[in-house]
Amino acid sequence: MWGKLLGTCFGFMFGRWIGAALGFYLGHMFDKSLKQDFDKVGGFYGFNRDDDLHERQALFFSSCFAVMGHIAKSNGRVSEIHIQAASAFMDEMQLFGEDRKEAQRAFNSGKDNEFSLSETVKDVREAFGRRFDLLQLFLEIQIQMAYSDGHLAAQEQNLLQQVSKYLGISNTHYLFIIKRYQAEFQFRQQRQRQQQKEQARGSSYSSHQQQYSKRQQSEATNQAVSRTGALAVLGLDGNATEKDIKRAYRKLMAQHHPDKLVSQGLPKHMMELAKNKSQEIQAAYEYLKKN
């Protein structure tokens, strides 16, 4: 407003009505630019945005590992597989030193008999209530922990449903996420097994034979990973059209975009988790484009 007003006044002084019109336009552009810069930092709220973001990132980090610990102990004790899975999470996030100790402390707090799942998850929902993609990722991380041994026990399923409920995620969408993750897990396992076979075969051939073998094995890989499985990774069934595939792919990629999630409060250490989710979605989509 002030840019347009002052621009018009100065323009009129130096160029009468033509100058006033030019001054009004330049003032309008100034006001627009100033507003954009102000909005980028969140208006007056933006002056405290960094502190608030750090607090929410710390809450997400500690709550995530605490709930993971609680789910890991759902059968009465934490199995070696769940311990390895938690360590793998920390390795994937490149947690070392004090950051890793903090994750371990949070994980152990979730195993305590006094741990309150409802209060912890509701705190997360309160802090990230309008950021559905982040709440969904929180649930997906818990599902990944529970599924680390290849199946979901009844106690784990019960806890995951509670987490979903406390996050405000409907049971219908929870079942959709569970089904999609199971497909993602199987799709990843298929790809890894096929890659291992290719490496084993490749080591027994000469250089020329290896090149020929790799082409054959690449074709075998495409055949081994089923189209049905790739569709399920995108949350689709066999009736999906090319348009459906593109729409589902774009939606899932947008939901798991690391930079967007970090801006919403995802700890930067956890960017790798979001990146890996995106890579699995990308791999399924690339397969479907070729088959």
Residue 257: is it exposed, middle or buried by C-beta count within 10 angstroms (0-12/13-18/19+)?
Answer: middle
* CATH 1.10.3680 boundaries in the chain: 52-180
CATH top class, domain 52-180? mainly alpha
Cα pseudo-dihedral 221, 257, 156, 110, rounded to 10:
130
* CATH 1.10.287 boundaries in the chain: 182-290
Q: Residue 236 and residue 255: Cα distance in Å, rounded?
A: 16
pLDDT of residue 264: 87
pLDDT-flagged residues of the chain (< 70):
1-50, 201-225
Q: Residue 196 and residue 208: Cα distance in Å, rounded?
A: 20
Q: Residue 150 and residue 153: Cα distance in Å, rounded?
A: 10
pLDDT of residue 241: 94
pLDDT of residue 18: 60
Residue 73 Cα distances to 1, 151, 232, 254, angstroms: 60, 15, 30, 33
pLDDT of residue 186: 85
Q: Report whether 218 contacts 287 (CB < 8 A).
A: no
For the chain, how far is it from start to end, CA to CA, in angstroms? Answer: 57
Closest CA to 164 of 136, 187, 186: 136
| Residue pLDDT, tens place only, 6-31 | 555 555 465 655 655 555 555 655 55
The domain 182-290 is placed in CATH, from the list 1.10.10, 1.10.287, 1.10.8, 1.10.1220, at 1.10.287
Provide Rg for the chain, Cα atoms: 26
pLDDT of residue 187: 85
pLDDT of residue 77: 84
Confirm whether pTM is higher than 0.85. Answer: no
| Residue pLDDT, tens place only, 119-158 | 999 999 999 988 999 999 999 999 999 988 888 899 999 9
pLDDT of residue 133: 93
Q: Residue 176 and residue 174: Cα distance in Å, rounded?
A: 5
